[in-house]
Structure 1
Amino acid sequence: MDFKIVEVFNRSVTIELESEAVFRQQAEFGVYINGEKSLMTDKNVVSVMGLLPDTKYKIGVDAGGELVEKEFVTGHESVLLDVTKFGAVGDGKTSDTAAIQAAICACPADGTVYLPAGQYLTTPIFLKSDMTFWLDEGAVLLGETDRKKYPVLPGMTMSTDEKDEYNLGTWEGNPLDNFASLVTAIDAQNLDIIGPGTIDGNAQNADWWKDAKVKRIAWRPKTLFLCRCRKVRVQGVTVQNSPCWTVHPYYSDDLAFLNLYIHNPSDSPNTDGLDPESCSNVRVLGTVISVGDDCMAIKSGKYYMALKHHKVTENVQIRNCKFERGHGSVTVGSEAAGGVRDVRVSQCEFIGTDRGLRIKTRRGRGERSVLDDILFENIMMEGVHMPFTVNMFYFCDPDGHSDYVQNQAPAPVDEMTPVIGSITGRHISCTGVSSCVLCAVGLPESPIGKLCFEDIKVSFAPEAERVPERPVMMDNFDEMSGRSIYAKNVRELVLSDVEISGAADGEPELVGVERQSVSGLEYV
């Protein structure tokens, strides 16, 4: 069994098996460091912690008695700064913010700020460039519950010469004041955040989830916020109980999220797992997400940010991950006015989410909102109610129910009209479907460009277990149960080698589909 070394840190390494298996192997295998067994696992992406910096190692994978090994050298570390030496107590009661921030400020280039086991109660801490932030086994960074102790990041500040804007705060795609996140990095580069410890927003013990859509002082914080950062890697950390979106990279590039575990209660509001917004070159590998909203939502802001600070989100790779519960497994939109392109989702498990592939936009996102070249392949969905949904009438905005957004008559094509290009799904298995397999609704004036689904095998849950649901969040759209394929306002629909078992209907319902290519569509 061959593997590749994905990333080498100063005290850890991440590898990925070169296998077509989805997320995990059928049996556990051994991972060895210098010939000694380090751990047993069945996961395709594995991180080994507890190494020493500036050291040559051999890492090996035992594939049925044959040990395949590769060499690597851990990264350089200039100094290790233990936060307890700066006065951090770690008892979960004493405020450790100042001590941890002092260690960060004192950390030289290539240094590591180290949190040993303990509960470190803090308000937001701010990381910087050229450092490692290491939460060891049993270390918990625990968020204070009093919002009045959290600094506010202003949405926009005019430059002194009044020719430019400086953006810090953001809320649902707009530049608005929001509280700083428990871990915040602004304009940082060459930053590593490594585990196996925990970053805990502690929202269940605060009032962040109460009246969640009401602004109180400022908008709710995330738990990990990366603003205009570059070359950031996050490995092996648990992030949980977030006040709002959990991990939010924003206008950042060259990012790696490896073997994270992101968890929020299923009823926690707007607690998306990982939301790259106006970011490029993003890798998400071996990560498990179970949250109260979309597991991942790929975004690029609302109209103002796309107009004044345009940045496409592009080159996003999501591989060997597991997404559970939540409204969508991997979502594109709806705040995607800057456009999203070149998204690859592969070898992932989607378990018990409402939707699998979820695309959402609406009139008003603008002509730069082009969602294109999105590929899902080699996916296993289990208990996903609606595997594929595409919606250009999304209503979750203050004006989302207005006639402008929801009117299904053709509107003029102008600078406010969004575009959906090519979306492909192939080599996908879906079991326990309840509502529908594919529900796609384009704008009459801007139909969905191309939907292509190849080698798809679907089985519905028994009729008694199905709950009628509205697959797309738009007005004047009926609930569905046991439906196979519904497509409206689509330029081209390709269905090839699609098998659907247990559907209540026996053929697709196509409305305003300009071209269709159907081969090997079988109802069982």
Structure 2
Amino acid sequence: MEFKIVDVFKRSVTIELESDTCFCQEKTYDIRIDDRIITTDKNVVSVTGLLPDHEYEIVVEFDGVKSNRCFRTQAESYLLNVKAFGAKGDGITNDTPAIQAAISACPENGTVLLPAGTYYVTPLFLKSNMTLWLDEGATLLGDNNREHYPIMPGMVRSTDEKDEFNLGTWEGNPLDSFASLITGIDLENVDIVGPGTLDGNAQNADWWVNPKVKRVAWRPNILYLCRCNNVRVQNIKVQNSPAWNVHPYYCDNLAFLNLHIQNPSDSPNTDGLDPESCKDVLVLGTVISVGDDCMAIKSGKYYMSLNHHKATENMVIRNCKFEKGHGSVTVGSEAAGGVKNIRVSQCIFDGTDRGLRIKTRRGRGERSVLDDIVFEKIKMNGVHMPFTVNMFYFCDPDGHSDYVQSQKEAPVDEMTPVIGSIIARDIVCEDVNACVLCAVGLPERPIEKLVLENIKASFLPESEQVPERPVMMDNFQEMKGRSVYAKNVSELVIRNVTIQGASDSEPECIGVAKTDVDGLRYDG
């Protein structure tokens, strides 16, 4: 089995098998480096415990066939152990001053090490050109008292009142929010590596009580990166976040490798990984199970798009597994800046409510162009509604207003969003409940193109199906066992699609200007 080296760090490396399987292999294989053997079935693997500035040979042995690659780890200037700065790691002492001192003192290209232990902290602020290393058994545990958290102002005016400086954000708007457990502002060249844990400790605080009520400031993330460039996060466990777990914001050149993000399934607004107005993002080998969308790709609301416009673009999500969540990979709804060139492949969606989930609404604006989004080579198991596209999403205070929800054609103006090309191909969906595809465009701005190609979908037995509303909009019926529902679509393409166990026997198309159906088959 051939493999490639994805990224080399100071003391670790991430590799990826060159395989067409989703997330993992059917059998285990061995990775050999020095005298170590790692047995795994995963397609993406991070090997830790290496030394800086050393040459290594890594060998993958699969079914008796070996392939090898050589690499050199990155150099490291200094290694600073937080315990030398006074950190206790006993889970009781406030270790924030000691760890922050180590970070502040870290020289260029240095590493701050957290050895095994539980470090009780309030938010920590990183600096550029450094590595934060949480070793095996190391946990950063969030303080459970919100009064101990600094506030990130949403927007600060420049002294000459010509410019704005944005720090805090909440659901697409520049609003005061608490600093996150790990916070990075205007950083470059930063690595955050494991295999330790970032634990927001939200279950032992009041973050999830009245979650939609602002109390002093809005809830924090666990990891928040604001206007950062060249940041890599590898082999970290992230859990129990007060709000979104990992939130890159106006960042470029990001890599998230072998993360494991987990929150209780009933924890509110705890999205797993939400890149917002970011460019060139790679997500590999990551497992997410949370209380909201596993991943939500965003680009802010109208104010940010109008005054600080930046689209989210050029994102690759591959060999990942998305479990509990409202959506596996979502685009929107706070995407006023636009989202384009998204590739999701070789992933497993296991038990999420929706698989591919696109959501927007009137008011997002003409820059909200969601286009060139491709999902391919995916296995969906127990995903209730594999493909949903909704241009009437009822979020925000005016979400249920007639302006957002009216089914009558409205004027196309500067507040009208666009959904361009959405493609789903080479996908198997088992144990579907409500519908295979539910797509609802605006009458004044239909969804431009939807493609389902090489899809095999099978429903739960009828006795196990439960009516559900596939898209969150007003006055929309619940469904179960439905195959394809499309409304207000310019072009619908269905090629080589097999649907088993549906309650209907043909697509329901309303206001679909052009259909290209070839090889659609209904079984039993």
**Distance in 1 of aligned mates of 2:375 and 2:65:** 33
Residue in structure 1 matched with residue 20 of structure 2 by the alignment: 20
Query: Which amino acid in 1 is paired with 2:425?
Result: R
1:192-250 residue CA offsets vs partner (Å, 9 max, x unmatched): 00000000000000000000000000000010000000000000000000000000000
1:164 partnered with 2:163: yes
Residue in structure 1 matched with residue 474 of structure 2 by the alignment: 475
**Distance in 2 of aligned mates of 1:223 and 1:300:** 20
Residue in structure 2 matched with residue 42 of structure 1 by the alignment: 41
Residue in structure 1 matched with residue 237 of structure 2 by the alignment: 238
**Distance in 2 of aligned mates of 1:171 and 1:467:** 34
Residue in structure 2 matched with residue 307 of structure 1 by the alignment: 306
Residue in structure 1 matched with residue 179 of structure 2 by the alignment: 180
Residue in structure 2 matched with residue 415 of structure 1 by the alignment: 414
Residue in structure 2 matched with residue 341 of structure 1 by the alignment: 340
Identity %: 71
1:399 partnered with 2:436: no
Measured after TM superposition, the shift of residue 371 of structure 1 is: 0.1
**Distance in 1 of aligned mates of 2:515 and 2:58:** 50
Query: Which amino acid in 2 is paired with 1:74?
Result: T
Measured after TM superposition, the shift of residue 395 of structure 1 is: 0.1
**1:102 partner SS:** helix
**Distance in 1 of aligned mates of 2:466 and 2:241:** 29
- TM-score, length basis structure 2: 1.00
Kindly indicate whether the alpha-carbon contact (under 8 Å) linking 1:30 and 1:37 is maintained by their aligned counterparts in 2.
no
Kindly indicate whether the alpha-carbon contact (under 8 Å) linking 1:426 and 1:453 is maintained by their aligned counterparts in 2.
yes
**Distance in 2 of aligned mates of 1:244 and 1:38:** 38
> What does 1:430-509 align with in structure 2 at a 5 Å threshold?
430-509=429-508
> What does 1:6-85 align with in structure 2 at a 5 Å threshold?
6-34=6-34, 36-85=35-84
1:243-301 residue CA offsets vs partner (Å, 9 max, x unmatched): 00000000000000000000000000000000000000000000000000000000000
Query: Which amino acid in 1 is paired with 2:235?
Result: G
> What does 1:71-220 align with in structure 2 at a 5 Å threshold?
71-220=70-219
Query: Which amino acid in 2 is paired with 1:199?
Result: L
Measured after TM superposition, the shift of residue 467 of structure 1 is: 1.2
**1:145 partner SS:** coil
Query: Which amino acid in 2 is paired with 1:141?
Result: L
1:437-479 residue CA offsets vs partner (Å, 9 max, x unmatched): 0000000000000001100000000111111100000001000
1:14-54 residue CA offsets vs partner (Å, 9 max, x unmatched): 000000011101100000113x3431100000000000001
Measured after TM superposition, the shift of residue 339 of structure 1 is: 0.1
Measured after TM superposition, the shift of residue 82 of structure 1 is: 0.2
Query: Which amino acid in 2 is paired with 1:389?
Result: T
Moved over 3 A (4+): none
Residue in structure 2 matched with residue 320 of structure 1 by the alignment: 319
**Distance in 2 of aligned mates of 1:18 and 1:86:** 44
1:102-139 residue CA offsets vs partner (Å, 9 max, x unmatched): 00000000000000000000000001110000000000
**Distance in 2 of aligned mates of 1:297 and 1:161:** 36
1:265 partnered with 2:251: no
**Distance in 2 of aligned mates of 1:307 and 1:89:** 47
Query: Which amino acid in 2 is paired with 1:131?
Result: M
1:375-417 residue CA offsets vs partner (Å, 9 max, x unmatched): 0000000000000000000002110000000000000000000
**Distance in 2 of aligned mates of 1:187 and 1:299:** 19
- TM-score, length basis structure 1: 1.00
**Distance in 1 of aligned mates of 2:65 and 2:468:** 50
Residue in structure 2 matched with residue 424 of structure 1 by the alignment: 423
**1:414 partner SS:** coil
Residue in structure 2 matched with residue 385 of structure 1 by the alignment: 384
Kindly indicate whether the alpha-carbon contact (under 8 Å) linking 1:30 and 1:62 is maintained by their aligned counterparts in 2.
yes
Measured after TM superposition, the shift of residue 67 of structure 1 is: 2.1
Kindly indicate whether the alpha-carbon contact (under 8 Å) linking 1:179 and 1:219 is maintained by their aligned counterparts in 2.
yes
Measured after TM superposition, the shift of residue 64 of structure 1 is: 1.5
**Distance in 1 of aligned mates of 2:144 and 2:394:** 32
Query: Which amino acid in 1 is paired with 2:172?
Result: G
Query: Which amino acid in 1 is paired with 2:31?
Result: V
**Distance in 2 of aligned mates of 1:486 and 1:180:** 43
**Distance in 1 of aligned mates of 2:210 and 2:259:** 29
Q: Unmatched 5+ residue regions in structure 2?
A: none
Report the RMSD for the aligned CA atoms in angstroms.
0.5
**Distance in 2 of aligned mates of 1:502 and 1:67:** 44
1:476-524 residue CA offsets vs partner (Å, 9 max, x unmatched): 1000000000000000000000000000111100000000000000000
**Distance in 2 of aligned mates of 1:67 and 1:417:** 55
Aligned length in residues: 523
**Distance in 1 of aligned mates of 2:76 and 2:44:** 25
1:90-111 residue CA offsets vs partner (Å, 9 max, x unmatched): 0000000000000000000000
Kindly indicate whether the alpha-carbon contact (under 8 Å) linking 1:378 and 1:428 is maintained by their aligned counterparts in 2.
yes
**Distance in 1 of aligned mates of 2:127 and 2:503:** 56
